[in-house]
Amino acid sequence: MATLFKNASAQSHGARYAKRMSSHLAAALVAFCLLQIAIVARFGGSLILHLALIVAVGGFAMAARKVERRWEILEASGLSRAGLDLRFRRDVAQVWLTSLLSSLLWIPVAIIFRFLFG
């Protein structure tokens, strides 16, 4: 068992960052989906809003894959730990802010849609 932990600590530090970023992206995608579903349901979602929700989730998933690819490239680049720390913190903050704020953008869309189409 001790060799298992020794081998895990011997891995490159970039791999840990890429895996942690992937976990943040997955959690942010779940939060994004749940917030959007709650907002659309709260404002009386029509079929058009539900279809737009599917498109938005697909767009978020494609953007998340680009961020994952970026961290695979950063992992292979051999940057210093301090450089990776800085980039990781910045990217995590951007992922969560984008996830939460873009979900909240559905509120005015739903209000306008409800006003125009009842």
Q: Which 8-state DSSP code applies to residue 43?
A: T
Q: What is the pTM of this model?
A: 0.77
Domain range for 29 is: 14-117
Residue 31 lies in a domain: yes
Domains identified in the chain, total number: 1
pLDDT for 73 beyond 60: yes
If you average pLDDT over residues 19-23, what whole number do you get? Answer: 93
- Reading the block at residue 103, the tokens are 């979900």
Residue 30 lies in a domain: yes
- Give 90's Cβ-side CA count (13 Å radius): 7
- Reading the block at residue 86, the tokens are 């800085």
CA distance 7 to 62: 33
Residue 85 lies in a domain: yes
> What's the confidence (pLDDT) of residue 45?
66
> What's the confidence (pLDDT) of residue 15?
60
What's the residue count for the chain?
118
Residue 4 lies in a domain: no
CA distance 99 to 96: 5
Residue 7 lies in a domain: no
* Listed range (80-89, 94-103, 109-118) with the worst mean pLDDT: 109-118
Residue 2 lies in a domain: no
pLDDT for 1 beyond 90: no
Residue 1 lies in a domain: no
> What's the confidence (pLDDT) of residue 118?
67
The rounded Cα 4 to chain-centroid distance in angstroms is: 31
pLDDT for 97 beyond 80: yes
Residue 33 lies in a domain: yes
